[in-house]
Amino acid sequence: MCSRHKLLTFAFIFILFVVFPSKIFSQVVINELGIKGSSDWFELYGYEDTNISGWYIDDEGTVTNVYDFPQGTFIGPSTSKIIFIQLTGNKNDRFGDYGETISLFKPGQTEPVDMVSYGGVGEVCLPSEEGSIGRVANVQDYAPTNVWERFSLSSKNLTNNNGTLDPCPTPTPKPTATATLTNTPTATPTPTPAPTLTPTPSATLRASPTPVATSTKTPTSQPTQTNLAQEAGPVENLVLGLRNELNPAPSSSSEAAETGRKFPVFPVILIISGLLCIGGAIFAFVKNAKSN
């Protein structure tokens, strides 16, 4: 049920604001303004019977109201749909000749019942002294619409279909400044030179000099055969030590090199096993294909 009520409410608002746009504004509206010449005037139009006692017309920036409606003032189909008011008094207390906002107020309220602005950008353009600005009349019942236009000949105290339309010119849009593209040379990035690697000197291992045994001369005593034999032992050991230095024992790196030269038995076994598996898979696939 709630959804149905919401749908009906939406449909009512749609019909009110779209199907009947001329009834959007108040039951009493400002209908036409004469703002040029020796005297100013305005019209109100009433869609419904309304007591407008105490209502007033005001413009922006004035201390006193432009016009106050006296007690006992009614507007509408039962009396008169149009009320025409000729303004008197000082011109400074009336409508501005070159632009202003005119509003209709109820007593004690700050929001206007109706208002119109003219003379500015996007507003109704200024009329001539013989003309006026007003709402365009509906062609069906001559009631005013919510469209304001300029009239070259006014229709004061009559419906606005009696006036001569002089539509305001369409404002010319200001040209938008477009940036002019010029062939600006594109800066070519300067390549950054790659850093030069300075080779680090490697340490060179130098063999330590082998100490040479120096023989000390034995004073005058004649060496005996036994002493020669005893001295032969150290000399022979010295010669063997020199041979060991000239023919060093094989290092662990050379042994690894000798081991690396052996035949790679294990990788060969893996390759042969892989080939056998692939061959078995191909044979099974061919056999299944033939059987199917």
Environment class of residue 75 by beta-carbon count within 10 Å: exposed (0-12), middle (13-18) or buried (19+)?
A: buried
283 within some domain: no
Task: For residue 201, give the H/E element and its range.
Answer: none
Environment class of residue 90 by beta-carbon count within 10 Å: exposed (0-12), middle (13-18) or buried (19+)?
A: exposed
Per residue in 246-283, pLDDT tens? 455 545 544 444 444 566 778 888 888 889 889 888 88
What are the two backbone dihedrals, phi and then psi, of residue 283, each rounded to the nearest 5 degrees?
Answer: -65, -40
Residue 138 structure tokens: 């509906």
Residue (of 41, 18, 21, 12) closest to 144 by Cα position: 21
In this structure, are residues 86 and 39 in contact, taking their beta carbons and an 8 Å threshold? Answer: yes
- Per-residue pLDDT, 205: 47
Distance in angstroms (rounded) separating the CA atoms of residues 59 and 101? 6
Q: What is the mean pLDDT of residues 76-102?
A: 88
275 within some domain: no
4 within some domain: no
- Per-residue pLDDT, 264: 74
- Bigger pLDDT: 71 vs 191: 71
What are the two backbone dihedrals, phi and then psi, of residue 273, each rounded to the nearest 5 degrees?
Answer: -65, -40
Distance in angstroms (rounded) separating the CA atoms of residues 284 and 179? 75
* Highest mean pLDDT out of 16-20, 69-73, 98-102, 198-202: 69-73
112 within some domain: yes
- Per-residue pLDDT, 29: 97
Count: domains in the chain: 1
Q: What is the mean pLDDT of residues 91-116?
A: 90
Provide, rounded to the nearest whole percent, the portion of the chain with pLDDT above 90. Answer: 35
- Per-residue pLDDT, 286: 82
155 within some domain: yes
12 within some domain: no
In this structure, are residues 98 and 119 in contact, taking their beta carbons and an 8 Å threshold? Answer: yes
- C-alpha dist (Å) from residue 208 to 156, 214, 242, 245, 248: 129, 18, 14, 11, 15
SS3 assignment, position 258: helix
Per residue in 223-251, pLDDT tens? 444 443 444 454 445 444 545 554 555 45
CATH number of the domain at 83, please: 2.60.40.1260
Per residue in 7-29, pLDDT tens? 555 554 444 433 444 344 569 99
- Per-residue pLDDT, 235: 43
In this structure, are residues 67 and 44 in contact, taking their beta carbons and an 8 Å threshold? Answer: no
181 within some domain: no
Task: For residue 252, give the H/E element and its range.
Answer: helix 252-260
62 within some domain: yes
Domain region containing 33 = 25-165
Torsion of CA 15, 21, 23, 26, to 10 degrees: 120
What are the two backbone dihedrals, phi and then psi, of residue 258, each rounded to the nearest 5 degrees?
Answer: -65, -35
